[in-house]
């Protein structure tokens, strides 16, 4: 599943995000969703989340 649909992402889900500073390289960061930051039901670049580590980025892959 990709991370562009908000209902696919639950708090506690394991995901891979791309952080703002990593968008050009495409480097992904793995973590557990702590908070969903995007309010709209979908987003073409991925739903923005905060991980338990404190990292913020857009979901690219739901594991």
The per-residue pLDDT for range 9-45, each reduced to its tens digit, is 999 999 999 999 999 999 999 999 999 999 999 999 9
Q: Does residue 1 belong to any structural domain of this protein?
A: no
Domain containing residue 22: 6-62
Q: Using CB atoms within 10 Å of the CB of residue 56, give its burial: 0 to 12 exposed, 13 to 18 middle, 19+ buried.
A: middle
Q: How is residue 13 written in tokens?
A: 């889900």
Tokens representing residue 58 in the block: 């857009």
Residue 27's pLDDT is 97
Instruction: Give a yes or no: residue 41 inside a domain.
Output: yes
CATH number at residue 46: 2.30.30
Report how many domains make up the chain.
1
In a domain, 27, yes or no: yes
Per-residue pLDDT band for 2 (boundaries 50, 70, 90) equals confident
For residues 23 and 12, give the distance between their C-alpha atoms in angstroms, rounded to a whole number.
24
């Amino acid at each position: 599943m990709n991370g562009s649909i908000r209902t696919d992402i639950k708090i506690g889900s394991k995901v891979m995000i791309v952080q703002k500073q990593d968008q050009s390289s495409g480097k992904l960061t793995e973590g557990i969703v702590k908070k969903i930051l995007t309010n709209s039901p979908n987003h073409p670049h991925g739903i923005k989340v905060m991980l338990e580590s404190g990292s913020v980025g857009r979901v690219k892959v739901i594991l």
